[in-house]
Amino acid sequence: MTKPAVIRHLQYATLPNGTRLHYASAGERGKPLVLFVHGFPEFWYEWEAQLAEFGKTHFAVAPDLRGFNLSSKPAQVEAYRPRHIVEDLVQFINALGYSHCVVVAHDWGGAICWNLAIQFPQMVERLVIINSPHPYVFAKALTSDPQQQAASAYMNWLREPGSEQALAADGFAKLEGFLNGQGKQPAPWFTGETREKYHAAWSQPGAGGSHPLTGGVNYYRASPMHPPGPGETPPDISRLDPAAFTVRVPTLVVWGERDTALPKSLLDGLDKFIPDMRLERIPDGTHWVIHEQPERINLLIRSALP
């Protein structure tokens, strides 16, 4: 068994659009690039086990998305519209010296990277998505599926003013609740040094004195994807062309089926949008399956590499 690759962080890339992304990496630049893209409320460290594994054979890189940890944290909600985050990733890949790569993404990172693969298929050699719904499937579910609307009600709470202060109160109690499934006990993986690292990331100051968590929460505020609130009419998606959401790159979808916010019903009909798709279900995995079963996730990612 080869030793885990050494992980280097405190590296930065300043992009042509002005965004400064912090990133961690493992392996040698020049080897094939594997890009790992985190979700909310995480940061590059979500992928620690993956960097250590894939740095042995690839140049493995995990950035902090804008709004998180040590990357730029613009204060304006509009700065977090998906097109801007996609642009960050396109420019980041180029800044690393690459024209294409394998992309592995989870949660909000997945939401961004579905769009990346749809809009820039030439840049995505393979796509691995872990518990992140396809944009058209999710939009349809938020519009018409009462189960999904109820499961996603938290999104509307996060969009409200002051949600970041509520998340940070009492030592980030509510934010920790996201990671332990609202259980009374901490998730087994979220203890000790890992918990300390997350608290440190959640405490990094925002731009212009804004709250440290505002950037991450602004992903929800900037997105058109959310369930209708009380008395609201569901958004009209009839003008959306399903064909415009076709993913034309080989794709592995991994799904922890005990995800309470993103039920496995979101997998129904997914193959209509992805001609070259493989689906791996993990019945005992939650939304945080990357942390719960890192070795299994690594084997699945490895099986998807070209």
Q: Is residue 184 part of a domain?
A: yes
Q: Is residue 34 part of a domain?
A: yes
Name the more confident of 106 and 229: 106
Active site (catalytic) residues:
107, 220, 287
The band of 202, judged by pLDDT with boundaries at 50, 70 and 90, is very high
Concatenated DSSP letters for the chain? -PPPPPEEEEEEEE-TTS-EEEEEEES-BTBPEEEEE--TT--GGGGHHHHHHHTTTSEEEEEPPTTSTTS-----GGGGSHHHHHHHHHHHHHHTT-S-EEEEEEHHHHHHHHHHHHH-GGGEEEEEEES---HHHHHHHHHH-HHHHHHTHHHHHHHSTTHHHHHHHHHHHHHHHHHTTT-SSPPTTSSHHHHHHHHHHHTS--GGG--TTHHHHHHHHH-S-----TTPPPP--TTS-GGGG---S-EEEEEETT-SSS-GGGGTTGGGT-SSEEEEEETT--TTHHHH-HHHHHHHHHHH--
Identify the CATH number of the domain in which residue 76 sits.
Answer: 3.40.50.1820
Mean pLDDT across the chain: 95
Number of folded domains in the chain? 1
Q: Is residue 54 part of a domain?
A: yes
Give yes or no for residue 247 having a pLDDT over 90: yes
Query: Residue type at 21?
Result: L
Average the pLDDT over 138-151 and give the result.
Answer: 93
Q: Is residue 96 part of a domain?
A: yes
Q: Is residue 75 part of a domain?
A: yes
The band of 184, judged by pLDDT with boundaries at 50, 70 and 90, is low
Distance CA 121, CA 83 (A): 15
Give pLDDT, residue 209.
85
Give yes or no for residue 109 having a pLDDT over 90: yes
Q: Is residue 149 part of a domain?
A: yes
Query: Residue type at 62?
Result: A
Range of the domain at 274: 7-304
Give pLDDT, residue 268.
95
Distance CA 35, CA 102 (A): 6
Give pLDDT, residue 104.
99
User: First CA to last CA across the chain, in angstroms?
Assistant: 22
Strand 7-14 relative to strand 277-282, pairing: unpaired
Name the more confident of 231 and 277: 277
Give pLDDT, residue 238.
87
Distance CA 4, CA 195 (A): 22
pTM: 0.97
Q: Is residue 2 part of a domain?
A: no
The band of 229, judged by pLDDT with boundaries at 50, 70 and 90, is confident
Percent of the chain at pLDDT > 90 equals 90
Q: Is residue 22 part of a domain?
A: yes
